[in-house]
A and B are shown apart, each in its own frame.
Chain A
Amino acid sequence: MATNSALMGFVHRRRRGAELFLLILALLVGIGAYAAVGLGVEGEVPTNLIGYGGWLTLLVVAAHLAVRKVAPYADPVLLPVVAALNGLGLAIIHRLDLAKETGLASQQLTWMTLGVALFIGTLIVLPDHRLLARFTYTSGLAAIALLILPMLPVLGTEINGARIWISVGPFSFQPGEIAKMLLVITFAGYLVVHRDALALAGRRVLFLDLPRGRDLGPILMMWVVSLGILVLQRDLGSSLLFFGLFLVMLYVATERPGWLVVGGLLFFGGAAAAYRLFGHVQNRVDIWLDPFADPDGTGYQLVQALYGFAWGGLVGRGLGEGMPERVPYAESDFILAAIGEELGLTAVMAVLLLYGLVVERALRAALISRDGFGKLVATGLAAVFALQIFVVIGGVTRLIPLTGLTTPFLSYGGSSLVANWVIIAILIRISDQARRPLPDLNEAHDDPDDQATQIVKVIPG
């Protein structure tokens, strides 16, 4: 342990002041955008600017204080980045509200409040992310249960052709958003225990060491079941997401690149099969290949989004000066088209960079995390985030066929927002653990039992 602490002589600084400064910038983005929407659309600063700004500030400061108190060594960039994204999203939703005469922004603010509350709650309830490893199987079963919920007759609701919602009273909820987080925990918990067996025991087939069935079986089952449910629900985006997530985590846990090859082949095989079997997959691909074939019908949404992006150009039309309401679902899946139209390529790049920062920070936490479970969870969450961004933004900008997914923190949608705040809380917890200085074990203590819980078992990565 002595050598270890000498090796780890470098101690991360807390950087909470930096976080606060960045949070102020994030608030300026959110509140400034909200004021600009009022000025641009109605020609005056919104009357409730102070109330709105105050509430946003309150939420952000509360989150910051919670981090300061219970996760003082956490990464200082994560929270400001998501605060900025969430604030920008609120302003854009408000902008679309004014055009469409809806009231989604205030609902979104309510969801954000719940999200921040759960963020704080998660940080408080979860002093150490490794506690989550206890719930490996529980969370796996919970994920599958959640995924099945929308298929139940009373609870489930079909919205826009995908049966991925449940309604309880006036609230509708997308359980898949929570499930993706639970599955990360399940995969990480299982893989961290079985990684050696998975990597080393088994037979070699061609270039790949095939693990024993009893090692891979349970997790494979879990994955196949969840994927199967999503395919049945026609939720293409989530299927893609879960597939990629599992692949990345298996690769990271076993350190066997062969899995990526197998996964890639499976992906293309599955995609080809899906294209042949499912009409809706064919439709998506056809629209992607030529959205202008039917610009007023099936291609309408994508064509309008592309027009919107182009109309925005480099610096955008300015808030209130464009017509983002022309794009159906501009407030949810297609919110980036609204940003692109009114704030331009500049803002789209900024948003992509912010997302990139979240992923980078999550992977950095994974790299410096001292335990395998933390590494896997952080990598898994980063991968989920990156893949989701790629799938939805790639779809909206016609890089890949469109599959429905929300844009994290920007899109309107309670389940997505709340789930993502919890994900950030877990990432903050992992980074806090990773950056926290090691307890000095050389110092004599009165009661070693007191210290016992603080000893961190170092799992060399």
Chain B
Amino acid sequence: MNKPIRAVSIFCMFLFLALMANVTYVQFWRADEYNTDPKNARVAAAAFSRERGLILVGEDPIARSEPVDDRYKYLRVYPEKQLYASVTGYLQLGSQTGIERSQNEVLSGEDPRLFVNRLVDLLKGDTNQGGNVLLTLDPAAQKAAFNALRDTVGPEGEGSVVAIEPKTGRILAMVSFPSYDPNQLASHDRETREKAYDRLDSNERQPLLNRAIQTRLFPGSTFKIVTAAAAIENGEYTADSQVESGATWQAPGTTGSQNVIDNEGRSGCNPENISFATAMGQSCNTAFAKMAVKVGPEKLREQAEAFGFNSDYLQDLGPQARSVFPEEVIDTIDGVQQDPRELNDAETARSGFGQFSVQSTPLQMAMVVSAIANRGALMRPYLVDQVQTATFDVLETTEPEKLRDAISPQTAAQLTDLLVSTVDDGTASPARIDGVSVAGKTGTAQRGVEGKAPYGWFVSFAPAEDAEVAIAVMIQEAPGKQIAGGQLGGPIAKAVMEAVLNR
């Protein structure tokens, strides 16, 4: 019987070889794939139990991991609570938002740039520690923006402030109100965490939303800057020109009173011809409607796109809403979609002062003024200044990147003059600062819903001749206050500009 027994032995050997080969396949060849599977709770829990790097603003951590005595070992703490929540986001088991998400690889220590460091750590027997992320935010500007916005719109209000350093694109302040306390969402106590999330998620004022990059609204009169830029850039006017205006204007090709454009009672706009400075200073709808039609929808769109509309540019934070200047219009007649067509004159006219289908995030409007302040050069906005090791050695510093020249330096200079006079003599006067020349523009955008208060906008930069800060303020809701002109937004912008200039 020995011959078959030997055969059985060989058969058994093959069984074991198959098992060994398969285990090697699972634990070696396929391991990376399984270990990076986002559904793999082990990966998430291990990352969650690791000492994560700091998120720094200036010298101070705005997010840090504190050792705690539970199964996850480290608790994520946000010492400034609401102030930076819309930027940092929050950390939970298996998920993150904000910078916690976009910089997760660095913070969790998985970034290859940290690898040398990790190897040393491994040899020393340390657990791998995440790297730090230094943000571009200026604590003084952020605090000024947050406090001014909160005090202005009131506890029930909604709004956002974005401040950019025009020369570099560094984001100095990014505020969304209402905000939330990320500590509650990062709690290891499931009940605390879920209760907090449910409360915030069901709140109709959407505290979890980062309005600076996620809310798109009609930019209203602040968009007149783009229309003016297109007109000057295309040689239709110079800043010293007279422009066509008028008390009312029935947009060409339209009938009916709902298509009559007026100036909401600003009588300075009534003459048939006014100076460009007056048109900007008094925010004349009729003048910019006519200007937009004269420039034409295509060139207007090209100018808007040069400023960043219809594109994504912020790489450090997501998700972001894309600001829109309509490329085409698709009509629906009797429920049938028609072929796309170009904007007609009435639509172009309304786009010229930031209505119709033009929509912008606060960050986008900040970029528009930032490009003008930077002699026409549009810089990529960024939030991450440095990536550091856990011991604060710098691994990478973000180099400012020019996206494109949105306008020529000459156009920029002329627009700056127009905007400075708007602050000095026009509607944007609440942003005036003694001894500093400020350029600014107000905006009041109709929601297109009867009986609802409009959105308030304010954009500005200072000092006008060599700007250090460009700002967009957006006020979505300010219950009990009159949202018009620069009355609400102007002082907020002023507070932030002063915070930056007084550094």
Q: Which residues of A contact B (CB under 8 A)?
A: 248, 251-253, 255, 257, 295, 306-314, 322-323, 326, 340, 344-345, 348-349, 352, 355-356, 359-360, 363, 366-367, 372, 375-376, 379, 382-383, 386-387, 389-390, 393-394, 397-399, 461
Contact = CB atoms under 8 A, between A and B. Distances in A.
A54 to B, nearest CB: 32
Nearest to A391: B15
Contacts of B35: 307, 310-311, 313
Contact of B19 (A255, A326, A382, A393): A393
B22 A394 contact: yes
Interface residues of B, number: 35
Contacts of A394: 18-19, 22
Given A307-B42, A310-B35, A397-B22, A461 B12 contact: no
Contact of B42 (A253, A326, A345, A461): A326
B40 A390 contact: no
Mostly, the A contact residues are helix
Interface string B1-35: 11111111100110110111011101110111111
Contact of A382 (B12, B26, B45): B12
Interface in B147-167: none
Contacts of B4: 251-252, 255, 257
Contacts of A376: 1
A404 to B, nearest CB: 17
10 contacts: A307-B35, A310-B32, A313-B35, A344-B27, A367-B6, A375-B1, A379-B1, A394-B18, A461-B1, A461-B2
Interface centre among B2, B4, B24 (most CB of A within 10 A): B4
Contacts of B501: none
Contacts of B26: 306, 309-310, 340, 397-398
A386 B1 CA distance: 19
Contact of A310 (B7, B16, B31): B31
B111 interface: no
Contact of B8 (A248, A313, A356, A461): A248
B1 A310 contact: no
B469 to A, nearest CB: 49
B8 A372 contact: no
Q: Which 10 pairs show the lowest CB-CB distances between chains A and B?
A: A310-B34, A310-B31, A345-B27, A399-B22, A252-B4, A386-B12, A390-B15, A356-B16, A363-B9, A309-B26
Contacts of A322: 42
A44 to B, nearest CB: 16
Contacts of A360: 9, 12
B27 A310 contact: yes
Contacts of A310: 26-27, 30-35, 40
A306 B12 contact: no
Contacts of B43: 311
Contacts of B16: 352, 355-356, 359, 386, 389-390
A355 B35 CA distance: 28
A255 B3 contact: yes
B12 A313 contact: no
A136 B30 CA distance: 48
B28 A313 contact: yes
Given A345-B28, A398-B26, A461-B2, 4 more contacts: A309-B34, A323-B41, A356-B12, A356-B13
Contacts of A248: 8
Contact of B28 (A311, A314, A379, A386): A314
Given A393-B19, A399-B22, A253 B1 contact: yes
A42 to B, nearest CB: 13
A301 B66 CA distance: 34
Nearest to A254: B4
Contacts of B5: 252, 363, 366-367, 375, 379
A366 B35 CA distance: 44
Given A310-B27, A312-B27, A390-B15, A323 B45 contact: yes
Nearest to A337: B26
Nearest to B18: A399
Contacts of A372: 1
A198 B479 CA distance: 98
B37 interface: yes
B39 interface: yes
Contacts of B1: 252-253, 255, 372, 375-376, 379, 461
Contacts of B34: 306-307, 309-311
Contacts of B31: 309-311, 313
B27 A352 contact: no
Contacts of A382: 8, 12
Contacts of B41: 307, 323, 326
Nearest to A344: B27
Nearest to A376: B1
Nearest to B22: A399
A311 B45 CA distance: 12
Nearest to B30: A310
Contacts of B23: 309, 340, 345, 348-349, 352, 393, 397
